[in-house]
Structure 1
Amino acid sequence: MPMETVQTIASRMSQSADTIPEEYIRRDKEEPSVEAGDGPVPKIPTVDLGEADQEKLVKAVAGASGEWGIFQVVNHGIPDNLISRLQHVGREFFELPQEEKEVYAKAPDSSGIEGYGTQVQSDPRGKKSWADHLFHKIWPPSSRNYQFWPKKPTSYREVNEEYARYLRQVADKLFRSLSLGLGLEENVLKDGAGGEELQYELKINYYPPCPRPDLTFGVPAHTDLSALTILVPNEVPGLQVFQDDRWINAEYVPGALIIHIGDQIEILSNGKYRSVLHRTTVNKEKVRMSWPVFLEPPMDWVVGPLAQLVDDENPPKFKSKKFKDYMYCKLHKLPQ
């Protein structure tokens, strides 16, 4: 019997007028809402990563990371046609028959996150998100488990390996600017987050059309566990960011990458950079997809506020702990 995914539920519901199942419905303040607040709606910053003036680039990256925790980058150096191919092979995978996708399913008793499925973490109230996903590591090469890399389409592996090579260059440039923005040597933040052992984990999010997008989320409000998240969106809007006490829709910028500051950078910077609170809404008529890559420390890597940023006037705001312990506490909603 095929596994019950959001895609199969959406396909079944397209033949009827039923509302979505109760376990997907969010109540009260959790429900999706339009932008609120007085005055003009601010826009998520856009940074030109090709800026030749390093001082100007560092100021833009650091400013956006401290004020917003999120920004979009253009002129990032990843060819447009490679991003298009990345999106194409991802869409092709989700368009395969259900039994072919299930070949890559995460085992029900697995403690890992790699594979095809629906829920990443359990909700204590049994609530589910309106999304399916495919998760696998793309860097370093030694971390790749090709068991979870689709064989169809046939170009999937080639495209994702090429994307990983380009993405590392973008990540290194971001880490350099973030370090310099704190008045540190350019390698400090990357080294603090795992250095060359950083794990690059790709997640393809698939949000099928939803008959009641006002009642559910693709992903509820959260901050990312990662150091950085580098995301490719498709043209269907849905990402919302919490800023100035309101939810703000992320504008689609063709060809741009969306950069999230994650929890580990907030910890390393002792709160000078902000891990962004964000969520994902769904669309009534269109499929929304996204391709985030989470840059995470190895499981036994200890992350804490950098010594250079801590003194009597700036005591540590976070505990130092192994990444696996931080992850366990967050996924199980335990105090850090």
Structure 2
Amino acid sequence: MVTFGIVPRVETLSSSGIQSIPKEYVRPQEELTSIGNIFEEEKKIEGPQVPTIDLKDIDSMDEAVRDKCKEELKKAAMDWGVMHLVNHGIPDDLIERVKKAGQAFFDQPIEEKEKYANDQVSGKIQGYGSKLANNASGQLEWEDYFFHRIYPEDKRNLSIWPRTPSDYIEATSEYARLLRGLATKVLSVLSLGLGLEEGRLEKEVGGMEELLLQMKINYYPKCPQPELALGVEAHTDISALTFILHNMVPGLQLFYQGNWVTAKCVPNSIIMHIGDTIEILSNKKYKSILHRGLVNKEKVRISWAVFCEPPKDKIILKPLPEVVSETESPLFPPRTFDQHIQHKLFRKTREELIT
């Protein structure tokens, strides 16, 4: 078996013909009881379902129609913190180009992809990679990925963007530009939902100049023992917002009201998560939901996650004064975005050392 650096590429493991996965990929016993067959899980129609929000009326000339659309988005953000967005304004053909380009990159031989390899140990996090163990138990996730900053344009490093396929840079750049506009639209609705002025949340997360969009293309190869592994372990996103495309293979699960709920594959939708950043600013009025990714034996799953993140040190994240009161005290201490990241990593490692 070929390995690269410290961690073997999961794709290499998957294509090697192994019948059982290495122990580093096996989840703890308490998690295994909740991991089922993702295709069966997606078929379930009883119980709660991730909401679908139709944005076609968000700019309607009719105020009542417009307000109804905004109210539905706000309610989903408060109740679930995740939703399928349809009629989001990003052309279907552009989304198909983005997905085709990302898939074409991963369809290349591993040797070609290695030319774009990152080096997490030295801090070079952009590029092609696999998860390093960052927890006390040394566990790994069943995924490879490609990670890079895509917006603002002046903060990109095009030298590490894939040159193959030739459409990758153009399609991804245009998608980033339109997605940034969608983020503004969503943030304005969420601001109004808190009784704030329309541009407030956008300003609080860095505005047009400082809010960073980072894309992570997650590649989940077929897994010989999907009942033992996770593509991505349970976590909440640190971002302000996260937007996700996928190749219509199910895998995303949300922890809602004490149970894991499987997200349906909704055609032409973008999945949107509220991240920790907005949860903090709203004093938990908007939810950052715990979620994870399952894998399967039959189909490769690919997802395109774009994390909209505030600058690491320029902004202090804390509940906004307007959302706290004598009866609703602040639920989060003031921290920079970087301090929030470090807090989550430290807490995770500490919990695993204790348990």
Using structure 2 for the length normalisation, give the TM-score: 0.89
Q: Distance in 1 between matches of 2:186 and 2:91?
A: 18
Using the TM superposition, give the Cα deviation of residue 120 of structure 1 relative to its aligned residue in structure 2, in angstroms.
6.0
Which letter maps to 1:7?
A: E
Which letter maps to 1:28?
A: Q
* Bigger helix fraction: 2
**Which residue does the alignment assign to 2:317?**
303
**Which residue does the alignment assign to 2:66?**
54
Q: Distance in 1 between matches of 2:288 and 2:192?
A: 18
**Which residue does the alignment assign to 2:79?**
67
**Which residue does the alignment assign to 2:340?**
326
Percent identity (aligned): 46
**Please, which of 288, 305, 324 is the counterpart of residue 275 of structure 1?**
288
Using structure 1 for the length normalisation, give the TM-score: 0.94
Using the TM superposition, give the Cα deviation of residue 308 of structure 1 relative to its aligned residue in structure 2, in angstroms.
1.2
Q: Distance in 2 between matches of 1:183 and 1:109?
A: 44
Q: Deviations over 1:131-167 (max 9, x none)?
A: 0000000000111012321111111111110101110
Preserved CA contact (<8 Å) 2:133 2:139: no
**Please, which of 182, 193, 196 is the counterpart of residue 181 of structure 1?**
193
Alignment of 1:42-191 (within 5 A): 42-51=48-57, 52=60, 53-119=65-131, 122-191=134-203
Q: Distance in 2 between matches of 1:120 and 1:73?
A: 32
**Please, which of 309, 313, 325 is the counterpart of residue 327 of structure 2?**
313
Q: Distance in 1 between matches of 2:201 and 2:338?
A: 19
Does the C-alpha gap of structure 1 residues 131 and 42 become closer, same or farther in structure 2, counting only changes over 3 Å?
same
Q: Distance in 2 between matches of 1:253 and 1:88?
A: 18
**Which residue does the alignment assign to 2:263?**
250
Which letter maps to 1:33?
A: I
Q: Distance in 2 between matches of 1:182 and 1:239?
A: 28
**Which residue does the alignment assign to 1:40?**
46
Does the C-alpha gap of structure 1 residues 122 and 107 become closer, same or farther in structure 2, counting only changes over 3 Å?
same
Q: Distance in 2 between matches of 1:186 and 1:120?
A: 40
Which letter maps to 1:257?
A: I
Q: Deviations over 1:102-144 (max 9, x none)?
A: 1111124232531110116612111000000000000001110
Q: Deviations over 1:271-293 (max 9, x none)?
A: 10010110000011100010010
Q: Distance in 1 between matches of 2:343 and 2:123?
A: 14
Q: Distance in 2 between matches of 1:133 and 1:298?
A: 23
Using the TM superposition, give the Cα deviation of residue 218 of structure 1 relative to its aligned residue in structure 2, in angstroms.
0.2
Does the C-alpha gap of structure 1 residues 120 and 255 become closer, same or farther in structure 2, counting only changes over 3 Å?
farther
Where does the alignment leave 5 or more consecutive residues of structure 2 unmatched?
Answer: 351-355
Q: Deviations over 1:54-88 (max 9, x none)?
A: 21122111100111010111000111111111110
SS in 2 for 1:206: strand
SS in 2 for 1:91: helix
**Which residue does the alignment assign to 2:26?**
25
SS in 2 for 1:333: helix
Q: Deviations over 1:192-229 (max 9, x none)?
A: 11112100000000000001100000001110010100
Q: CA RMSD in A?
A: 1.6
Q: Deviations over 1:280-311 (max 9, x none)?
A: 00011100010010000011122111111122
SS in 1 for 2:94: helix
SS in 2 for 1:109: helix
Preserved CA contact (<8 Å) 2:35 2:228: no
SS in 2 for 1:275: coil
Mean alpha-carbon deviation: is it higher for 264-273 or for 43-52?
43-52
Preserved CA contact (<8 Å) 1:92 1:153: yes
**Which residue does the alignment assign to 1:237?**
250
SS in 2 for 1:93: helix
Q: Deviations over 1:236-287 (max 9, x none)?
A: 1010011121101100000000000100000000010010110000011100
**Which residue does the alignment assign to 2:16?**
12
